[in-house]
Structure 1
Amino acid sequence: LAAAGNCNTGPIQCCNSLESTDTAAASTLLDLLGVAVQGVTGQLGLGCSPISVVGAGSGSACTSQPVCCQNNNVGGLVSIGCLPVEL
């Protein structure tokens, strides 16, 4: 797992769910969005929003999966290449 400070591709995201890029559901969703994910490692993050890793306010809480993604917010629906992080 990556450390929270090691996300150099954008803000750490809190995703409602994660989906493997090689599932039928993920392929269908990405086809509808016109996104090709050849060579992408990690998972798809669904329903993601940025979170702060600094401070103890409510904005830093993530009740789902905190992740670091290569390509955030594709089509306003998914983030691509997500790897779990420890907060």
Structure 2
Amino acid sequence: MFAKLTIFTSTVLAIATLATATPHIVSRNLPASECSTQPVQCCDNTFTEGSAAGAALLESLGIPIQDLNALVGQGCSPLSVVGVGGTSCSANPVCCQDNSHSLISLSCVPVDLGL
């Protein structure tokens, strides 16, 4: 019994140590004015390419995964006039490097519409 408790405790401590030692990706929202691939896109959903949902989406469209941490936007539509009072996006505003696909946008970064 003592051996099982020791193994369990050691495992929990190892996982906790690994979790605190793993670097976290800090994302910052890009000001809308700095989006070089205008227009800013408003996407229904965003996924990282490496996530299960992102990988499945890319695979279903025959698009290879390029960057596990890059965002993929799904159900995106352009916001043509950023910064004007009536422009809003209630979902996920992003700036994407590749808007050439009809169903998704690739290599996206979150955008702050207020900047």
TM-score, length-scaled by structure 1: 0.83
Unaligned runs of 5+ in 1: none
From 80, 85, 95, the equivalent of 1:68 is 95
Report % sequence identity. 40
Q: Distance in 2 between matches of 1:36 and 1:9?
A: 22
Q: Which structure features the higher share of helix residues?
A: 2
Is 2:79 the counterpart of 1:53?
Answer: no
The structure carrying a bigger strand percent of its residues is 1
Where does 1:1-87 land on structure 2 (aligned, <5 Å)? Answer: 1-39=29-67, 42-51=70-79, 52-57=81-86, 60-74=87-101, 76-87=102-113
In structure 2, C-alpha distance between the alignment counterparts of 1:29 and 1:80, rounded to whole Å? 11
Q: Which runs of 5+ in 2 are unaligned?
A: 1-28
Instruction: Tell me which of the two structures has the higher relative contact order, counting C-alpha pairs closer than 8 angstroms and 6 or more residues apart.
Output: 1
> In structure 2, how many angstroms separate the alpha carbons of the residues matched to 1:14 and 1:23?
20
Q: Distance in 1 between matches of 2:69 and 2:41?
A: 17
Report the CA distance shift for 1:68/1:61 in structure 2 as closer, same or farther (over 3 A): same
Larger Cα-atom Rg: 2
Contact 1:20 1:43 in 2 (8 A): yes
Displaced runs of 4+ in structure 1, greater than 2 A?
39-42
Contact 2:49 2:58 in 1 (8 A): no
**Shift of residue 40, structure 1, vs aligned partner:** 7.1
